[in-house]
């Protein structure tokens, strides 16, 4: 096919995908900003800290609580409103199942304006890292499970229409992780004050926002769906530190506590109470649970508990080929140790194979969403129980 025909062919393919689904009956749609405050910068009043949320409410809303979808680092809400090869996204999937949905742009991202004087410097994923960690990890083999990746649509390289659509959506984001968590925690709580009780879906970076929001307002958060949440506990991992998976050192922990409260950089309610992060006594496993996993940092026994998070049904979802496959189990172990009994679902264990970190955009995204929907039917549906 001539190069100049490729965009048109992609457009026709997208139309065919849309035509495969009946029209969505929407009762109401719009947007809302939540949170934020006024500050004086260079003698002028500006607003910062606000979150943007685009909402759609179906005509037949069969579920009482909306789903608030929060994207990860370098992304915007477009991660949930479609796929780069033209299919419907998770927002439409759950709308068709009778959920109202609120799709977020984080503060300083997308349609929530960036205030350089207040937010500080930004960072952004390089094209190479997008390929290594999101699109084509099987070509780089930087962690033991990477070769299992098969689900990215298209050729997974610049010049391919699907890849170009994805990479065009990547945006700079606030470099300061603590500030980012503080802004999003406060803005999401403010959003819940507008929506009422809701289900909170996080992905990657935003996993660190779901925990403090549920911790602060467990009565408002009816469930947390943590899709490969920010982790592992306490320290960041540099994945791909070795160029061969034959080495036991395919990753290494970076110096400095990035999540001093275990799964967050912001405070959580522990029992017995803590006054500062150093009150949490921690140690690293002497040996990982399996040869293809990283060694976890956990609390020393007896572990302090997270009583508020223990009140909320939690699903942690991990794909088969993602770099999270080596350490999401550490997040699960940490929460369990603290009395939080999350439902951890590894997609490979339920017959869904080949996914990477951006599973909501991949070829089998509907199958993955189905796993979430079935869990919600058990824990957060009319007449449903509270079992995890």
| pLDDT confidence band for 5 (50 / 70 / 90) | low
pLDDT at residue 239, as a whole number: 86
Asked whether the predicted pLDDT for residue 3 surpasses 80, the reply is no
The model's pLDDT over 142-156, given as tens digits with 9 standing for 90+, comes to: 999 999 999 999 999
What is the percent of the chain with per-residue pLDDT over 70, rounded to a whole number? 91
The model's pLDDT over 22-31, given as tens digits with 9 standing for 90+, comes to: 999 999 999 9
Q: Please, what sign has the CA dihedral across residues 357, 362, 363, 369? A: positive
| pLDDT confidence band for 9 (50 / 70 / 90) | low
pLDDT at residue 387, as a whole number: 36
pLDDT at residue 386, as a whole number: 43
> If you average pLDDT over every residue of the chain, what do you get?
93
pLDDT at residue 388, as a whole number: 37
Q: How far apart are CA 169 and CA 341, in angstroms?
A: 35
- Maximum C-alpha span of the chain: 66
pLDDT at residue 385, as a whole number: 43
Asked whether the predicted pLDDT for residue 341 surpasses 90, the reply is yes
Q: How far apart are CA 115 and CA 96, in angstroms?
A: 36
Asked whether the predicted pLDDT for residue 325 surpasses 70, the reply is yes
pLDDT at residue 224, as a whole number: 98
Any idea how long the chain is? 388
pLDDT at residue 380, as a whole number: 81
Contact 91, 101 (CB under 8 A): yes
> For residue 324, what is the DSSP state?
G
Strands (E), 59-214: 67-70, 101-105, 122-123, 173-174, 198-204
Burial classification of residue 144, based on how many CB atoms lie within 10 Å of its CB (0-12 exposed, 13-18 middle, 19 or more buried): middle
Strands 221-229, 198-204: pairing is: parallel
Strands (E), 100-172: 101-105, 122-123
Catalytic residues: 204
3-state secondary structure string across 198-266: EEEEEEECCHHHHHHHHHHCCCCEEEEEEEEECCCCECCEEECCCCCCCCCCCEEECCCCCECCCCCCC
Contact 245, 221 (CB under 8 A): no
Asked whether the predicted pLDDT for residue 1 surpasses 70, the reply is no
Strands 122-123, 101-105: pairing is: unpaired
Rg, the chain, Cα only: 20
Burial classification of residue 13, based on how many CB atoms lie within 10 Å of its CB (0-12 exposed, 13-18 middle, 19 or more buried): middle
Q: How far apart are CA 178 and CA 175, in angstroms?
A: 9
Mean pLDDT of 178-192: 98
Mean pLDDT of 358-375: 98
Q: How far apart are CA 58 and CA 62, in angstroms?
A: 9
Asked whether the predicted pLDDT for residue 267 surpasses 50, the reply is yes
pLDDT greater at residue 195 or residue 21: 195
Contacts of 246 (CB under 8 A, 6+ apart): none
Domains of the chain plus CATH, in order, are 32-379 (3.40.50.1820)
Mean pLDDT of 65-89: 98
> For residue 271, what is the DSSP state?
B
Contact 225, 318 (CB under 8 A): no
Asked whether the predicted pLDDT for residue 8 surpasses 80, the reply is no
């Amino acid at each position: 096919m001539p190069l100049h025909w490729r965009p048109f062919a992609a457009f026709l393919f997208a139309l065919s995908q849309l035509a495969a689904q009946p029209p969505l009956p929407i009762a109401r749609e719009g947007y809302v900003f939540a949170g934020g405050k006024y500050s004086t910068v260079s003698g002028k009043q500006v607003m910062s800290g606000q979150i943007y949320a685009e909402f759609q409410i179906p005509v037949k809303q069969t579920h009482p609580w909306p789903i608030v979808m929060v994207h990860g680092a370098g992304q915007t809400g477009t991660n949930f409103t479609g796929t780069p090869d033209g299919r419907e996204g998770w927002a439409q999937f759950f709308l068709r199942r009778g959920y109202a949905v609120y799709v977020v742009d984080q503060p300083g991202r997308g349609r929530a304006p960036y205030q350089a004087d207040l937010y500080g410097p930004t960072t952004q994923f390089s094209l190479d890292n997008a390929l290594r960690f999101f699109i084509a990890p099987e070509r780089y083999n930087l962690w033991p499970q990477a070769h299992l990746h098969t689900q990215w649509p298209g050729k997974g390289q610049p010049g391919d229409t699907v890849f170009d659509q994805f990479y065009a959506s990547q945006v700079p984001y606030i470099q300061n992780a603590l500030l980012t968590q503080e802004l999003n925690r406060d803005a999401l709580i403010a959003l819940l004050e507008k929506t009422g009780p809701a289900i909170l879906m996080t992905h990657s970076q935003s996993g660190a926002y779901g925990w403090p929001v549920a911790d602060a307002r467990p009565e408002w958060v009816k469930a947390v769906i943590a899709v490969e949440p920010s982790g592992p506990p306490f320290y960041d991992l540099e994945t791909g530190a070795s160029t061969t998976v034959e080495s036991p050192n395919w990753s290494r922990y970076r110096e400095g506590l990035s999540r001093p409260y275990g799964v967050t950089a912001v405070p959580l309610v522990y029992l017995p109470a803590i006054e500062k992060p150093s009150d949490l006594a921690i140690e690293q496993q002497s040996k990982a649970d399996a040869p293809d996993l990283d060694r976890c940092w956990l609390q020393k026994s007896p572990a302090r508990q997270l009583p508020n998070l223990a009140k909320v049904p939690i699903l942690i979802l991990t794909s088969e080929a993602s770099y999270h496959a080596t350490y999401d189990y550490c997040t699960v172990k940490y929460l369990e140790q603290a009395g939080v009994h999350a439902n951890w679902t590894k997609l490979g264990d339920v017959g869904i194979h080949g996914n990477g970190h951006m599973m909501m955009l991949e070829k089998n995204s509907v199958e993955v969403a189905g796993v979430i929907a079935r869990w919600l039917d058990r824990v957060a549906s009319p007449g449903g129980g509270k079992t995890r």
